[in-house]
Structure 1
């Protein structure tokens, strides 16, 4: 079930407020799914994208207002069903508004990228690392993974542009052009969703580094899937939303073994986030401030028929990726 073959026709995302429901779900038996991932002892190995050959100015020029508005969110298909649910009234709920309630963190933003097939969007959040120029997002927002269909080859995306606190085409904290990116071999070569995380580094802007300008979040690993007080941010683009403003889910997560190759996923129920919110951060309540927090997962997938949002808690392998991305 090739992600590349489906991205142009899949609907984009809706992010809604989380509730305290704790019931787990299973995939619809008739749901289309990706082929099962093959476990490998080397899934935690890190692959680097080719260094960006475009200058920061060229990347910013590429992302015109028109291209940004027309970019398509990526939906990851996977076990448990990750397809459009917008046409199913039973799964639609009301998203929590951010304006006037909770200010969108400076460290979260909309991520733009492209390949020969088109222009795409996801979400991302800055992280505190030695280089102070990086974000974390979903692996499928950086690399196609292995299932790209008969007429394409697996590849990294390019022309990464991060816009912190994006709103209605405006970039109040600047537009940051990508320098390099890293994914896990487990995602890129085996399609293992537990490794659906990536890091992107960005070039300086006006002499400043991204994290020095907007702040950075802490990445934590090895956390339980079951958590209370989780907050998720993303930029959904499915009607009634248009991807122009951030939305959030607040609630608790449960553990499910129904959705992924090796189980252990975190699920937030009644959070119908799809499309452009992929890669958005999952914050724990402890040490969370207005702009920063502790990220234990990033948005990966969604349920076929129920408004459940799915991510795998970040594993200790992220340490290897951070070291690689920071030249250690």
Structure 2
């Protein structure tokens, strides 16, 4: 099983699903050495509130992980392209976003996605070099999402060997997990981090560096996706390197 967000699951998921995922091949034996780190439960703080679950099928099932990124209109999310497009490259409909989701609690609102922005090379060929998407969401009660939860800055051309904190939502968890480690080069245009626990559902999880004290925000330099749609093992995760490709897509999304 490749990718971490292709299948969609019901909102309530029991421990039995975790066993099914392993049996289905999401953790192939011998594919990677055991990681030196494993993710832990993410604390409920201001930083965590900017990350949430993407809901599909008019809010009845979970898709992937997404997060709020700063923008002039204060309405922008970032995730992996494979999370929000159909097999023919067209945008999915009926998507929404629940920031800070925990145990079914959507106290920070459910925000309707009204636009999906992906690169045309992803749309045409599902090119893993362009597995990034920006989403805009409609306001709730007259407020934009960034006004409610804040946002993380977009960082491009930062290179490899960065300390990042990655937070996401596996399907078999009802609260987010997180891990801090350093990035390495998978290729000239793809990066990776090694930390266990990032199984199906964590596609789109933001890679944050330059974290401010007290949960004041950070800089997004990757999202789980790209090579193998994020990885074929929960122990190793990948991202498109955030460079001029992502900068151009951001400009398109905010134009």
The 1-side partners of 2:131 and 2:119 are apart by 8
* Structure number with bigger Rg: 1
2:50 paired with 1:107: yes
State the TM-score, normalizing by the size of structure 2: 0.80
In 2, are the aligned partners of 1:105 and 1:292 still within 8 Å (CA)? no
CA 1:279–1:305 in structure 2 vs 1: closer, same or farther (change >3 Å)?
closer
**Structure 2 CA distance for partners of 1:192 and 1:289, relative to 1, 3 Å:** farther
TM-score normalized by structure 1? 0.64
Q: Which runs of 5+ in 1 are unaligned?
A: 13-66, 71-82, 258-262
Choose from 247, 251, 254 the match for 1:323: 251
Flag structure 2 segments of 5+ consecutive residues without an equivalent. 14-24
Match of 1:166 in 2: 101
For residues 40-66 of structure 1, give each alpha carbon's deviation from its aligned partner in whole angstroms, at most 9, with x where no partner exists: xxxxxxxxxxxxxxxxxxxxxxxxxxx
- In structure 1, what is the Cα distance between the partners aligned to 2:68 and 2:161? 24
**Cα separation, 2, equivalents of 1:315 and 1:2:** 24
Change (3 A) 1:199 1:91: same
Decide which structure has greater helix share: 2
Partner SS, residue 323 of structure 1? helix
For residues 296-322 of structure 1, what are the alpha-carbon distances to aligned partners after superposition, in whole Å with 9 as ceiling and x for unaligned?
A: 111114444572111122122333323
For 1:219 and 1:287, the matched residues in 2 are separated by 14
Within 2, Cα distance between the matches of 1:140 and 1:206?
Answer: 30
Is 1:211 the counterpart of 2:143 in the alignment? Answer: no
Partner secondary structure for residue 183 of structure 2: strand
Shift of 1:277: 0.9
| RMSD of Structure 2 on Structure 1 (CA) | 3.2
**CA positional deviation for 1:119:** 4.5
What secondary structure sits across from 1:168 in the alignment? coil
Cα separation, partners in 2 of 1:322 and 1:103, compared to 1, 3 Å: closer
Partner of 1:314: 242
Aligned to 2:135: 200
* Partner of residue 113, structure 2: 178
- Asked whether the 8 Å contact 1:235–1:245 carries over to 2, the reply is yes
Contact 2:78 2:135 in 1 (8 A): yes
